C-alpha cells in the first residue's frame, strides 16, 4: 500500500499536479539535487552533439543536433515548471531558492508544453544556425564565405565593393530567415508565459539578480554614462571618412554609411584605424598581426601565447586534450560554424575552443577572449551543476577581454614579439588609445541595441511587419549609422548578425565592455600601477591572479555584486573606469571636433 501511494505521488509530481502545500523544503532540496544530476548527464551528451554539428555541418548532424536540442528543451522546460511550483514552499534555504530561480528562468528559448512545440522550436533554431554557418556573400559577383567576407570588409577600401559585400551578405543570409524567426518568436513566447514571464525578453532580463525593468534601467544608465565619449568618436570618424571618400560617399553631417567602418556590422571600427589615425601621434609603428607573421607564428602558436598570459597569473596550463580536440583552423573540406566559441564538454576539464584562426591582430585578441571563458569554466568546475556559470553572463564575456587589455607594447616586448626600440613613445599614446576606442567604444551602442531590438520583438512593441525598419531605426538612433542601400520589409538584416539566428542574448557583451575596464582598473591598482591606466599591464602578477581566481571560482553561486566585490571591492557596475582609461583621448577628440557639427 505504502509503495503504491508513493508511486502515485511520483506520477502526480511528474504531471505537476501536487499542490505546493503538500511539499516541504526537503522535497525541494531533493528535487534540485535530482534535477542537477539529470542536467549534468544531459549536458555532456548534448555538448558532444553540438560540437560535432558545429564543426561538421551536414543534414545528419543538423538532425542530431535538433533532436538533442529538443530533448534538452523538453527537459529544461519540465524542470522549470516543477521549480516554479516549489518556489512557494516555506523554509527554503538560500541555495535552493537560488537554484529554483535558475531552473525556472535559465532557458534561452523556452518551448511551451504543447505537443510538438519543442521539436518545432529546435528545428527552427538549428535551421537558423546552419543557414548562418553556410551563408555566403559575394565579392565581384563571386561567392565568398562568412569568415572571408569579414576579413575583406576590414581591408577593402573601395566603396562599391564594400556596398556589394554588405548588401549581398544581408540579402543572402538574413533575408531567408524572416519567416522562421517570426515563428520562433511566437513559440518561445508561449513557453515563457507558461513559466510565468510576460515574454522571452523579460525572461532574459530576469537573469541579473534584479527585476527585469531594473535591469533595462541599469543598461540605460551605463549607456548615458559613456555616450558622450561615443559621440566624440563618431563625430571625428565621420569627418575622417568624409575626407577620404568625399561628400558623395560619406557626407560631412548625418549618419555614417555602415559599410565604411571596416566591419560587416559596424560594431567595431579598429580595422579602419589607418583612415582615422592622426598624423605623427597616430603612427603606432607596429601591427600585432604583422609581428606574428614576421616571426612565423602560426595559429597554434598564437593560442600558446594566450595560454602563457594566464599561466603568468598562476593558472594551471590547459589540459593536453584542449590541444587535441579544439578546432583552430577552418577545415578545407567541410562546412563549419567559424564564429569563435569556447566549450567545456564534460563540465570539468574537457576545454576546447572552436575558431577559424587567421594570423592577425583581431584573432590574437579573440584567442585571449575565448581562453577567458575556458579558464572561468575550469575555475568554477567544483561548483554544483546549476552554479557552473559566470556571476552573470557579462562577467563570462569580460574575463578574456580584460586580460587582453594588458597586451601593451611593454608586454609584447616581454614575450619577444616587439623590439624594445620599437615601443611607441608616450607621445604616441593618443594613437594607441584611438586604436582601442575604435573597437571598444564604437561597440557600445551596438552591444546595447541588439537586445533592445529583441526585447521589442519578444514583447510585441516591434511587430513582425516592422522587423527591418525597427532594426534600421535602432542602428540610426544608437550607432548613428545608415545602410549603404535601400532596405525594406522584404529584408531581414538582423539575421545577418550571428547572435540573432544563433539566439545568443547580447546584453552580456555590452556589460562586458564596461566590466572589463572595471576589472582592469582593479587589477592595475592591486598591482600597484601608478602611471596612466592604459599603459598598465599586470602580466606575471600572481597576486592579481589569486584575487581573480577568488571571483572566478564562485561561478554563479552568489548574486553577481558579491562576485564583483570579491575581485574589485565594489558592488556596483560602473562605466567610470572606462572613462578614466580613455580620458586623454576624449579631451583630444573634443579639441579635434571643436568646429564640427557633431551628432546625426
Contacts with Zn ion by CB under 5 A lie at 397
Catalytic residue among 164, 307, 370, 397: 370
Measured from the CB of residue 439, what is the shortest distance to Zn ion in angstroms?
Answer: 15
362-368-371 Cα angle (round to 5): 135
Q: Which residue is nearest to Zn ion (CB)?
A: 397
Measured from the CB of residue 45, what is the shortest distance to Zn ion in angstroms?
Answer: 23
Per-residue CA distances from 31 to 35, 36, 195, 556 (Å): 6, 9, 17, 19
Shorter beta-carbon distance to Zn ion: residue 144 or 511:
511
Shorter beta-carbon distance to Zn ion: residue 36 or 397:
397
Measured from the CB of residue 519, what is the shortest distance to Zn ion in angstroms?
Answer: 15
CB 544 within 8 A of CB 313: yes
Shorter beta-carbon distance to Zn ion: residue 397 or 451:
397
> Is 370 among the residues known to form the active site?
yes
CB 163 within 8 A of CB 485: yes
Measured from the CB of residue 277, what is the shortest distance to Zn ion in angstroms?
Answer: 28
Spatial separation of the C-alpha atoms in residues 413 and 411, rounded to whole Å:
5
Burial of 408: CB neighbours in 10 Å, binned 0-12, 13-18, 19+: middle
Spatial separation of the C-alpha atoms in residues 352 and 341, rounded to whole Å:
9
DSSP state at residue 327:
B
CB 496 within 8 A of CB 173: yes
| Closest to 593 in 3D by CA, of 285, 242, 249, 261 | 242
Q: Report residue 366 as a C-alpha cell.
A: 579573440
Measured from the CB of residue 76, what is the shortest distance to Zn ion in angstroms?
Answer: 22
| Closest to 479 in 3D by CA, of 223, 244, 248 | 223
CB 107 within 8 A of CB 42: no
561-545-525 Cα angle (round to 5): 70
Shorter beta-carbon distance to Zn ion: residue 199 or 397:
397
Measured from the CB of residue 512, what is the shortest distance to Zn ion in angstroms?
Answer: 8
CB 491 within 8 A of CB 233: no
Shorter beta-carbon distance to Zn ion: residue 99 or 508:
508
Q: How far from each other are the two terminal CA atoms of the chain, in whole angstroms?
A: 76
| Overall residue count recorded for the chain in this entry | 600
Shorter beta-carbon distance to Zn ion: residue 164 or 397:
397
DSSP state at residue 515:
H
Cβ burial 141-162 (10 Å sphere, 16+ → b, else e) = eeebbbbbbbbbbbebeebebb
Q: Which residue has the cell 511520483?
A: 10
Measured from the CB of residue 365, what is the shortest distance to Zn ion in angstroms?
Answer: 12
> Is 499 among the residues known to form the active site?
yes
φ, ψ (nearest 5 deg) of residue 352? -150, 155
Cβ burial 500-533 (10 Å sphere, 16+ → b, else e) = bbbbebbbbbbbbbbbbbbbbbbbbbbbebeeeb
- What angle do the packed helices 212-245 and 429-459 form, to 10 degrees? 130
Shorter beta-carbon distance to Zn ion: residue 150 or 397:
397
Measured from the CB of residue 299, what is the shortest distance to Zn ion in angstroms?
Answer: 18
CB 115 within 8 A of CB 46: no
Q: Report residue 307 as a C-alpha cell.
A: 595560454
Name beta bridge partners: 351: 344
Shorter beta-carbon distance to Zn ion: residue 102 or 371:
371
The three state secondary structure string of 98-137 is HHHHHHHHCCCCCCCCCCCHHHHHHHHHHHHHHHHHCCEE
Measured from the CB of residue 508, what is the shortest distance to Zn ion in angstroms?
Answer: 8
Measured from the CB of residue 262, what is the shortest distance to Zn ion in angstroms?
Answer: 21
Burial of 253: CB neighbours in 10 Å, binned 0-12, 13-18, 19+: middle
Shorter beta-carbon distance to Zn ion: residue 239 or 303:
303
CB atoms within 10 A of CB 179: 11
Measured from the CB of residue 167, what is the shortest distance to Zn ion in angstroms?
Answer: 28
Shorter beta-carbon distance to Zn ion: residue 397 or 429:
397
Q: Which residue has the cell 568646429?
A: 595
Shorter beta-carbon distance to Zn ion: residue 272 or 371:
371
Catalytic residue among 339, 368, 396, 499: 499
Per-residue CA distances from 249 to 160, 302, 593, 597 (Å): 10, 38, 21, 18
Residues with active-site annotation = 370, 499
Amino acid at each position: 500500500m505504502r509503495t503504491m501511494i508513493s508511486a502515485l505521488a511520483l506520477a502526480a509530481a511528474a504531471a505537476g499536479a501536487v499542490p505546493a502545500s503538500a511539499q516541504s523544503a526537503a522535497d525541494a532540496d531533493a528535487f534540485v539535487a535530482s534535477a542537477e544530476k539529470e542536467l549534468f548527464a544531459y549536458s555532456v551528451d548534448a555538448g558532444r552533439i553540438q560540437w560535432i554539428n558545429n564543426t561538421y555541418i551536414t543534414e545528419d548532424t543538423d538532425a542530431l543536433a535538433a533532436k538533442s536540442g529538443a530533448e534538452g528543451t523538453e527537459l529544461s522546460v519540465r524542470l522549470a515548471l516543477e521549480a516554479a511550483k516549489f518556489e512557494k514552499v516555506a523554509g527554503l534555504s538560500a541555495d535552493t531558492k537560488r537554484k529554483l530561480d535558475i531552473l525556472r528562468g535559465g532557458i534561452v528559448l523556452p518551448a511551451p508544453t504543447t505537443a510538438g512545440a519543442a521539436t518545432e522550436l529546435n528545428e527552427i533554431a538549428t535551421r537558423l544556425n546552419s543557414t548562418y554557418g553556410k551563408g555566403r556573400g559575394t565579392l565581384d559577383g563571386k561567392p565568398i564565405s562568412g569568415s572571408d567576407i569579414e576579413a575583406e570588409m576590414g581591408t577593402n577600401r573601395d566603396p562599391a565593393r564594400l556596398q556589394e559585400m554588405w548588401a549581398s551578405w544581408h540579402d543572402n543570409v538574413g533575408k531567408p530567415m524572416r519567416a522562421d524567426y517570426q515563428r520562433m518568436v511566437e513559440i518561445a513566447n508561449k513557453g515563457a508565459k507558461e513559466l510565468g514571464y510576460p515574454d522571452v525578453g523579460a525572461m532574459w532580463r530576469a537573469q541579473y539578480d534584479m527585476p527585469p525593468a531594473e535591469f533595462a534601467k541599469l543598461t540605460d544608465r551605463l549607456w548615458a554614462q559613456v555616450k558622450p565619449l561615443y559621440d566624440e568618436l563618431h563625430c571625428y570618424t565621420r569627418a575622417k571618412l568624409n575626407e577620404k571618400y568625399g561628400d558623395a560617399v560619406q557626407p560631412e553631417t548625418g549618419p555614417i554609411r555602415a559599410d565604411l567602418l571596416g566591419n560587416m556590422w559596424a560594431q567595431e571600427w579598429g580595422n579602419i584605424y589607418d583612415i582615422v589615425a592622426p598624423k605623427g601621434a597616430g603612427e603606432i609603428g607596429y601591427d600585432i598581426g604583422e609581428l606574428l607573421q614576421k616571426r612565423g607564428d602560426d595559429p597554434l602558436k598564437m593560442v600558446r601565447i594566450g595560454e602563457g598570459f594566464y599561466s603568468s597569473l598562476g593558472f594551471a596550463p590547459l589540459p593536453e586534450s584542449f590541444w587535441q580536440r579544439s578546432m583552430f583552423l577552418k577545415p578545407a573540406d567541410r562546412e563549419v560554424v567559424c564564429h569563435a566559441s569556447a566549450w567545456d564538454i564534460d563540465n570539468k576539464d574537457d576545454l576546447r575552443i572552436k575558431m577559424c584562426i587567421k594570423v592577425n591582430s583581431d584573432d590574437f585578441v579573440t584567442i585571449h577572449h575565448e581562453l577567458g571563458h575556458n579558464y572561468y569554466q575550469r575555475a568554477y568546475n567544483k561548483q554544483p551543476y546549476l552554479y557552473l556559470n559566470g556571476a552573470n553572463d557579462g562577467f563570462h564575456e569580460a574575463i578574456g577581454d580584460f586580460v587582453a587589455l594588458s597586451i601593451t607594447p611593454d608586454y609584447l616586448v616581454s614575450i619577444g614579439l616587439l623590439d624594445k626600440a620599437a615601443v611607441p613613445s608616450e607621445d604616441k599614446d593618443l594613437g594607441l588609445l584611438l586604436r582601442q576606442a575604435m573597437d571598444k567604444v564604437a561597440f557600445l551602442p551596438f552591444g546595447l541595441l541588439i537586445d533592445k531590438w529583441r526585447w521589442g520583438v519578444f514583447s510585441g512593441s516591434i511587430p513582425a511587419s516592422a522587423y527591418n525598419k525597427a532594426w534600421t531605426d535602432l542602428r540610426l538612433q544608437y550607432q548613428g549609422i545608415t545602410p549603404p542601400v535601400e532596405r525594406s520589409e522584404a529584408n531581414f538584416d538582423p539575421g545577418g548578425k550571428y547572435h540573432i539566428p544563433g539566439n545568443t542574448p547580447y546584453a552580456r557583451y555590452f556589460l562586458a565592455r564596461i566590466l572589463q575596464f572595471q576589472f582592469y582598473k582593479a587589477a592595475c591598482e592591486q598591482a600597484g600601477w601608478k602611471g596612466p591606466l592604459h599603459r598598465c599591464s599586470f602580466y606575471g602578477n600572481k597576486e592579481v591572479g589569486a584575487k581573480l581566481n577568488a571571483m572566478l571560482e564562485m561561478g554563479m553561486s552568489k548574486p553577481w555584486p558579491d562576485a564583483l566585490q570579491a575581485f574589485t571591492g565594489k558592488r556596483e557596475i560602473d562605466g567610470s573606469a572606462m572613462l578614466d582609461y580613455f580620458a586623454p583621448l576624449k579631451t583630444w577628440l573634443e579639441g579635434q571636433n571643436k568646429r564640427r557639427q557633431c551628432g546625426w
